[in-house]
Structure 1
């Protein structure tokens, strides 16, 4: 375990190195755990001290709006185990593993299916919470089981895919189990017969019969690098807003004014709209509030220009949401978790 303690109450531990937005916020105590046993020990200590506790993965999906008045526990557990049967590979991954490195591991070892999800920041443990997705694939397609630790009882439990209640950027971990558990391990089932998903625009030029997993992986990486800023260079959490899903009737009405508005039909008859297009069409690309700005190459990304704090990001997000609602009648919802002084809050 690695500990970081404050020297006094006026100088909290900096969380800047532990969130990809590089926000200048702090916490009373920060500790990394490398096993479930260590995680339990730290939860007991925090409870005995009556301190709020925040479980942190890669810090790629959080916006700290103020100094956290408690203990931040970073899950840094590592380990990958593989088994197989005639039809599939079964890969159990510890929560602290890097998601992108895990995708690369699968590609290198002939376990195919996750290529479209390359270069998504964060940890494996955080992936089921958001049901992360990109370029036509969401992890619920391959996620078989999720194991977690109940933060109150300290008992371990495992949910099957159906029990996770996966939806678009949604799961049971954002609803019924919100702030109640810490994911410890995720198991994936990757079929041995690979079927490429090349329905997304930049992948459509491939031939379904000849395309390889490596080609899909390389193309997705190239696309993401060209559109999304490197968090190590310019602080961000990737896509800040979910792509809104609207009624077909509203989409048809909007097409009368915006003929280039692209929509993707959903199984329930509704239409998914690109949030980035809405923000760009509203003329907000490059707009800034305080020390935060809309990225000048990808309108869906909010960036930390220089020493921003959470308030800067939230003010900019509210401004974007207000403009888009007024112009299109569409409500945008943020993807990242908003973390206040004692826990998660609404934007």
Structure 2
């Protein structure tokens, strides 16, 4: 059984029945349709492997998306980009900066592939990718039908999309089409970006990389899958109860009531990293899994970690945060067992 260790940035020592890659739709359909008894066989389509953790040997076939290619045209008002799902995300962002196709600067150094970006609706430092997606090209697995999903069709939400729900395990993303306005406002309200003087896209891009490198471990040096949990969005009353007990709770208003006097209807995002830190997990180690000491939102593989260790640590964090704050954290990563996706 081939090893999956190098196909997931968390780097657990697990294997699968077989691994094959594809570079276009015909080669994918050929591979997929050759699988006998697909209804009973586990199949998982993998991109960069930065958001998938295989917690045990996978009893099935892994298909690696290596569809590449970047094309561009522009109008007076916008840049339009068609990007293969197998392109590396940060390399793509870096190319856009070089070509002065601005808009992605806040999303620099996010690990993974372009095809994963709409699934997760990746975001960082005040910007989410859905604001820049025009449409997504997909293929239905069972029929081979190629479809174009509009931004609205994708049903984007916070770290969420239709690809996690109605279309989960039903389509392959082949290309993502982006629409970048030539005139737009830089997003510098988040954290250390607010301190930039005379900000430019290049300055934001460089600062985001600097921040991420200072706080986040490099997956090539220390196994990890980036942010393990989503930042919870709660009612104002939940936030207020926490703020009454803890000084200076970091928070961001993500939905304001139309009636500004009715603050109870507001939706407040509280950083999961702060909750995890307050619950005492920052720097904590369970066997070979560690809650990172500079960014507790990240769990790391110190070398030789097992899937059981990862699941145990994650469940302990979830239980402790819920017991202390009444908030249940949800994983941002995709956890896989022997037959496919699992939940905690």
User: Does residue 214 of the first structure (1) align with residue 202 of the second (2)?
Assistant: yes
User: Does residue 255 of the first structure (1) align with residue 243 of the second (2)?
Assistant: yes
Deviation, structure 1 residue 265: 0.9
The 5-angstrom pairing of residues 214-293 of structure 1 reads 214-268=202-256, 269-293=266-290
1:57-87 Cα distance to aligned partner (Å, 9 max, x none): 0000111121111110000111001011110
CA-atom RMSD, angstroms? 1.1
* Structure 1 contact 46–52 (Cα < 8 Å) conserved: no
The 5-angstrom pairing of residues 186-201 of structure 1 reads 186-201=176-191
User: Quick one: distance in 1 between partners of 2:131 and 2:293?
Assistant: 33
1:287-345 Cα distance to aligned partner (Å, 9 max, x none): 12222110111110000011212221111000001111111111100001111111112
User: Quick one: distance in 1 between partners of 2:206 and 2:254?
Assistant: 28
Match of 2:60 in 1: 70
Q: Secondary structure at the match of 1:39?
A: helix
Unpaired runs of at least 5, structure 2? 257-265
Q: Secondary structure at the match of 1:182?
A: strand
Match of 1:110 in 2: 100
Q: Secondary structure at the match of 2:160?
A: coil
Match of 2:12 in 1: 23
Match of 1:4 in 2: none
User: Quick one: distance in 1 between partners of 2:206 and 2:173?
Assistant: 29
User: Quick one: distance in 2 between partners of 1:283 and 1:346?
Assistant: 24
Deviation, structure 1 residue 48: 5.5
User: Quick one: distance in 1 between partners of 2:36 and 2:145?
Assistant: 15
User: Quick one: distance in 2 between partners of 1:244 and 1:270?
Assistant: 10
Match of 2:151 in 1: 161
User: Does residue 129 of the first structure (1) align with residue 119 of the second (2)?
Assistant: yes
Deviation, structure 1 residue 236: 0.4
* Structure 2 contact 255–268 (Cα < 8 Å) conserved: no
Higher mean alpha-carbon deviation, 262-271 vs 299-308, is at 262-271
User: Quick one: distance in 2 between partners of 1:80 and 1:19?
Assistant: 24
* Structure 1 contact 79–93 (Cα < 8 Å) conserved: yes
Deviation, structure 1 residue 137: 0.2
Deviation, structure 1 residue 51: 3.0
* Structure 1 contact 241–334 (Cα < 8 Å) conserved: yes
Deviation, structure 1 residue 282: 1.3
Q: Secondary structure at the match of 1:321?
A: helix
User: Quick one: distance in 2 between partners of 1:45 and 1:23?
Assistant: 28
Match of 1:329 in 2: 326
Q: Secondary structure at the match of 1:157?
A: strand
User: Quick one: distance in 2 between partners of 1:265 and 1:188?
Assistant: 27
Q: Secondary structure at the match of 2:330?
A: coil
Q: How many residues align?
A: 334
Aligned with residue 23 of structure 2, among 23, 30, 34: 34
Unpaired runs of at least 5, structure 1? 1-11
With the length of structure 2 as denominator, give the TM-score of the two structures: 0.95
* Structure 1 contact 238–301 (Cα < 8 Å) conserved: yes
